[in-house]
Each structure stands twice: as structure tokens, then as C-alpha cells.
Chain A
């Protein structure tokens, strides 16, 4: 066979053995990488953690201008009953001047302007911003203020000042009735 001839050529010639060595090394490399995956993936959320699906919240007792904090998937969720002035303030902002450009109507459900539902975890480094309790510092824009690194959010939960890169996230939710919200 012609290939056997190569084996007898000079030292730098590619031999069948080189080919076998390279393939074997590559394949064992792939095998080792695959064997590593379970050890990485075990760190991701387990099935029971993922199964913490939905939470229903009764919002009938939240007075205008007040907010409550509920826990969902380990994170706080702010549910705020906005006053007419707060809604107006949130809608009147020129969207182009915002850090993270989002109109107020993209952040609330249609027909439910009064209710703002956001995940209460600062998009900077995850602290819980103040402003849900009466007496809290609500920041310069009347929404929330994060005490950790000084981010100010407005009445639509949008970032207006400070190091946070994004608006407060809006979770997936629906209105079951006018006074019952289903998170998740």
C-alpha cells in the first residue's frame, strides 16, 4: 500500500501513527469535555427550583399611592398602586431622554395603568431599592432609590440616574380578576 511508504520516509513525514495519535487525543479530549458537563450543569437550577412556578397576589387592599412587596422565585416583586399624578409623570417623560428607553405603556398591562408590577431587584447589583414603604426615600424621581450604589428609578420603575444599566424588570404576569394578579 502506498501509505506504508510514508512511514519509511524522513522523520518529519506524517505517518499513519501520527494520524492515529491525533485522532485518539482529539476524541479523548471531546470525551473529557463531555464528562465535564454534568459537573458544570449540576450548578444550574434544579428541577424543584424551576418548579416554583406561579404566585397569586390579592391587590385589593393596596391603597392608591401605596406599594407592597411580595416574594416570587426568591426575588422581591413590587406591586404599586399609582396615583393619577404618578401615572401622568411616567407618561409625560420624553422617552428619548431616558437611559433605557421604554415608554410607560410598555411597562404596564393595557387598561391597568394604575398598577405597576416590577421585580424589586436593582439592575445594577441586585439590592432591593427603597420606596415601597411609606416614609422610604423614593429618590429624585419619586419611584425607588437603591441605597447600595445610588440608582434612582421613576414612577414607572425606569432607571433615571445612577449606575444601574436597565429599568427594573417587568415580570410575566396577568390579571386573573381586577384585584387578583398571577405572577409567572
Chain B
């Protein structure tokens, strides 16, 4: 762990305060000049701070929206329309919040994939990694409940499908679903509790983010080379170097964000959510927001029971198996530090690992596409046998799990890795010849 550097302000009043509550010291040691950081961080390292800023944008815009929104099935839809049409700057703040969720996920997904490529989950950063996954799970819950609030068709049916997932739990499933609904279907009590929890969870996320940053402070940032900092020559202070780099990245990111917000505010949403919720009519196809599509594809890909073939004995019915697979696809990442035991941390020095990483990316893109299609869609027909989008989803699901459970453990044993540089400074500082 880096040394904690005290701050001694010149100003007497500030110095008096700092002695009693070293808040300047805290800033200095987390993002200030007193925070030595690896000198070779590339732009993929921008996405942590971008995610943090998106969280703040979501909290601020969300609090403002809550001042105008009414969580009641009779008026929820209209109250959102009123925000957009009548509330001053509501046309800006609502798309900011709706698109903000998407951009928050973009930042977090790139942040997670960066961690996967550069081995950021490896010792001594396992807890840092797991805290990140906790944030990710909380984000998914928060985003799901937020999507229900406008009470359009997708809101209602998304809520129905996702809460029904819990009915797959043996014995107590149906009781749990009734408990979640507060009734016999998704209705007013459900909407009210989702609003309450949607307001609460971002602050829980903020709390875990603080732990996440604390864990980062303890184990230091990783870096693209994956070798630990060995001397002062490997480091530069966070401020001004990375504050400036982060600020530049933020500018680029916000330009793209602003483009969506101002010019295509509904491009990432679904038109059906502009139809008020109707519990008697299911939309043609229920699709979650894009950031849930790969997990939705995994859920849908399981259409068979797990049991003894050619008998009636079933251990796990298809519905439960699908739900288990979906949750397992994320929970699996908690044990990733032990599945991949390669001594070499960074993908930069692992040629085979790198290939499989890109296959995983392709797999995730395929799963995302599959999740957005109708399950009956036939992709190919060979000798009368139909190959549907669900079959493709199953292949994608099998690869996803194989990557973590089979490929990574085998690679970490047999892969021939490239020589790792002695230190960060020896690798990145070019001596003039």
C-alpha cells in the first residue's frame, strides 16, 4: 500500500480544520498529487472514473425526476409525459437519466472487459474485483426497477417476466413472487416499492463504490503490463497526470452521450414503452434494454429439463435451469481469480489467452443479438432441421461457460507466455541512443 501523505495547509484556519478532520489529505491520497500511480495507464483505464461520473449524473438527474414523478399506476405514465412536455427542462433531464443508464452500463462493461483482458482480478486484487461485481449486480437491479417506473408496456411486461423468474425456485417460488408483487400480479403495490428501492439502491451503490476505491487504494492500480510497481520510477502522481487524462476522456465520452441525449433520445429504448401498461395484452415481443440482452439470451436458451435421458426423471426443470444459468453467468465471475491461476497477469503477454478473449467478445456480441430476436426466428434450415435463434443462444451460452470453466483453467496450466518485463519503467521509458 502506498504511503499516506499528510497535507499541511499554509492557511491557519484550514490547517486547524485539517488537523481535526484530514479531508484534504483524503482527497490528496485518493486522486491528488499524493497518489502515486503506475506511469503506463492507457485509455482503457479511463472507464472507472467515467462510471463514477455517470453514477453521479444518474443520482442528480434521478433526484430531480423524483420531484415530479408519481408512483401510481393510474398516473405514472402521464407524470413521465408531463415531465418531458411541461416541466422546465424536463425534456433534457428525462433523456439524460434514461440514456444515462445506458452510458453508465457502457462505461461499466468496458471497465469490466478491461479487467478481464489485463487480469485485474488476480491477486492481490480479488476483493477489489468482487466489490466491482457487487456494484454491477446492484446496478442491474436498479436499472431494472427504474425501467418499470414509466409504466409503459415494456415496463409492465419486463417486470412481469423478471419477477416471474423467482417462481422457478422450488417450493417457495410462488410465495416469493407474491411477496415481490404485493398482490396477484404486477400492480400498484409493485410500482410503489420499485420506486422506493430505485431511489435507495444508487446510494447503496455509492457506498460500495467507496469500498471499491478503498480496496484500489490498498492494492494500488493495476496496469497494462501487469507487473507490480517496484520503485518510484514506475510511478507518476495521479494529479495532474491522470486527472487530465480522465478529463480528456470524459470530454469525448460526454460528446457521444450528448449526441444521444439531444438527437436520438429514444434510440436505445423501445417504442412499445410509449404505450401505457396493459395487463391484458402482451406486446409482440418483450425485449429488455440492450444491456441485459446477453443474459436474457442465456435465460431463453435453456429449453430442456435436466434429468436422466429417455426417462421421466427430472432433476432440474427447464425454467429453473434457465434461471440458474442466467444468475450463474455473473456469479461465476466471483471465482474467476481462482479459475485463472496463470502467474502472468496481463493479456499482453498471453498470446493464447488473448485469442480466447476476443472469441469471448464475439460470443457476447452474438448473445446480445440473440437476446433481441424472437425465439422462433429460424436462422438456417439444413435437411429439414431448423436451426433457431434459441439454438444459437445455447451454443453461445455453452461457449460462455466453457471459456471460464474449461478454457481459462487449461490455459493457466499449459499456455506458453511471453517474457514479462522486469519493471514498468524499464519497459516504457525509452533511453535515447
Contacts and interface: CB of A to CB of B under 8 A. Distances in A.
Interface of A: 40, 43-46, 49, 69, 71, 73-76, 120-121, 124-130, 146-150, 162-165
28 contacts: A43-B179, A43-B189, A43-B193, A45-B181, A45-B184, A71-B280, A73-B184, A76-B280, A120-B280, A125-B164, A125-B165, A125-B319, A126-B161, A126-B167, A127-B160, A127-B161, A128-B279, A128-B280, A128-B281, A130-B282, A147-B284, A147-B374, A148-B285, A149-B300, A163-B303, A163-B318, A163-B319, A164-B319
A74 B161 contact: no
B282 A74 contact: no
A46 B184 CA distance: 11
B375 interface: yes
B161 A71 contact: no
B182 A44 contact: yes
Contacts of B376: 150
Contacts of B317: 165
Residue among A46, A73, A126, A130 with most chain B CB within 10 A: A126
B286 interface: yes
Given A127-B160, A127-B161, A43 B280 contact: no
Residue among B280, B317, B376 with most chain A CB within 10 A: B280
Contacts of A127: 157, 160-161, 282, 286
Interface in B249-284: 279-282, 284
Residue among B179, B282, B317 with most chain A CB within 10 A: B282
A121 B161 CA distance: 11
Contact of A75 (B163, B184, B374): B184
B185 interface: yes
A45 B193 CA distance: 12
Interface of B: 157, 160-161, 163-165, 167, 178-187, 189, 193, 279-282, 284-286, 300, 302-303, 317-319, 322, 374-376, 390
B352 to A, nearest CB: 37
A44 B179 CA distance: 5
Given A73-B184, A75-B185, A127-B282, 15 more contacts: A43-B189, A43-B193, A69-B280, A74-B279, A125-B161, A126-B163, A126-B164, A126-B185, A128-B282, A147-B285, A150-B376, A150-B390, A163-B302, A163-B303, A163-B319
A130 B184 CA distance: 21
B161 A148 contact: yes
A110 B70 CA distance: 48
Contact of B160 (A40, A69, A126, A130): A126
Nearest to B314: A165
B285 A74 contact: no
Contact of B182 (A49, A76, A128, A163): A49
A46 B157 CA distance: 23
A126 to B, nearest CB: 4
A146 B286 CA distance: 11
Nearest to B323: A125
B215 to A, nearest CB: 30
Nearest to B390: A150
B315 to A, nearest CB: 14
A103 B142 CA distance: 44
Contacts of A163: 300, 302-303, 318-319, 322
B292 to A, nearest CB: 14
Contacts of B284: 147
A87 B163 CA distance: 34
Contacts of B319: 124-125, 163-165
Contacts of B181: 45
B189 A46 contact: yes
A44 to B, nearest CB: 6
A40 B179 contact: yes
A45 B280 CA distance: 21
Contacts of A130: 282
Nearest to A42: B182
B303 A74 contact: no
Contacts of B279: 71, 74-76, 128
Contacts of A74: 183-187, 279
Contacts of A43: 179-180, 182, 189, 193
B252 to A, nearest CB: 39
Nearest to A77: B280
A127 B374 CA distance: 14
